[in-house]
Amino acid sequence: MLSMTRIGLAPVLGYLIIEEDFNIALGVFALAGLTDLLDGFIARNWASQKSALGSALDPLADKILISILYVSLTYADLIPVPLTYMIISRDVMLIAAVFYVRYRTLPTPRTLSKYFNPCYATARLKPTFISKVNTAVQLILVAASLAAPVFNYADSIYLQILWCFTAFTTAASAYSYYHYGRKTVQVIKGR
Dist. CA 69–CA 104, nearest whole Å? 32
| Residues of the chain below pLDDT 50 | 191
User: Residue 78's domain spans which residues?
Assistant: 1-190
- Phi/psi for 78 (5° steps) reads -105, -15
Check residue 157 and give its pLDDT.
96
CA dihedral 176, 181, 184, 186 (to 10 degrees): 180
DSSP string covering 44-69? HH-GGG--HHHHHHHHHHHHHHHHHH
Which residues partner with 185 through β-bridges?
Answer: 125
Check residue 147 and give its pLDDT.
95
Check residue 13 and give its pLDDT.
96
| SS3 label, residue 43 | helix
Non-local CB neighbours of 171 within 8 Å, separated by 6+ positions: 86
State the CATH number of the domain containing residue 51: 1.20.120
Check residue 191 and give its pLDDT.
47
- Phi/psi for 185 (5° steps) reads -110, 125
Rg (CA), the chain: 18
Check residue 188 and give its pLDDT.
73
Check residue 189 and give its pLDDT.
66
Check residue 139 and give its pLDDT.
92
The number of domains in the chain is 1
Q: How many residues are present in the chain?
A: 191
Check residue 62 and give its pLDDT.
87
Q: Where are the alpha helices (DSSP H) in the chain?
A: 2-18, 22-45, 52-75, 81-105, 112-115, 129-151, 157-180
If residue 186 lies in a helix (H) or strand (E), which one and from where to where?
A: strand 185-187
If residue 124 lies in a helix (H) or strand (E), which one and from where to where?
A: strand 123-125
- Give, in order, the Cα–Cα distances in Å from 178 to each of 48, 102, 130, 184: 35, 17, 12, 10
